Amino acid sequence: MKHVLIALLAVSLITCGKSEKQKPVDVAGQKVYELRGKIVSRDRGENTLKIDHEEIKGFMEAMTMDYTVRGAKVEQLPPDGTKIHAKLHVVDDAYWVSDVRTP
């Protein structure tokens, strides 16, 4: 019986941890920009994409940087080297991408 309780506790802790990682795609006070670029690489563990993107007028010059992806798993997105369009969400000093798609 003790082993069953420990197993149930472990499963509930793992489940709670996973639900905390699933952050909402949209949040109050965000600004959303259209991002156009190319997937350079991905980190499945962190669910991030390294994107070489064009200038985002009025916000950021062209550069290559890592972006957390919300609303999708990076392994389900187009392969590295693919040109993409995505939504860049910005609120305070946090940023992430969603709706990653081919043009």
Assess whether pLDDT exceeds 50 at residue 18: no
85 C-beta neighbours (distance < 10 Å), count: 13
Structure confidence at residue 21 (pLDDT) = 61
Pick the residue with more confidence: 85 or 16? Answer: 85
This prediction has a pTM of 0.77
Q: Which residues of 42-67 are buried (b: 16+ CB within 10 A; e: fewer)?
A: beeeebbbbbebeebeeebeeeeeeb
pLDDT tens-digit series, residues 74-95 = 999 999 999 999 999 999 989 9
φ, ψ for residue 29 (rounded to 5)?
A: 80, 5
Instruction: State the average pLDDT for the chain.
Output: 85
Assess whether pLDDT exceeds 70 at residue 20: no
- Placement of tokens 């965000």 in the chain: 30
Assess whether pLDDT exceeds 50 at residue 5: no
Residue 11 neighbours by CB under 8 Å, 6+ apart: none
Domains by residue range for the chain, with CATH: 26-101 (2.40.50.320)
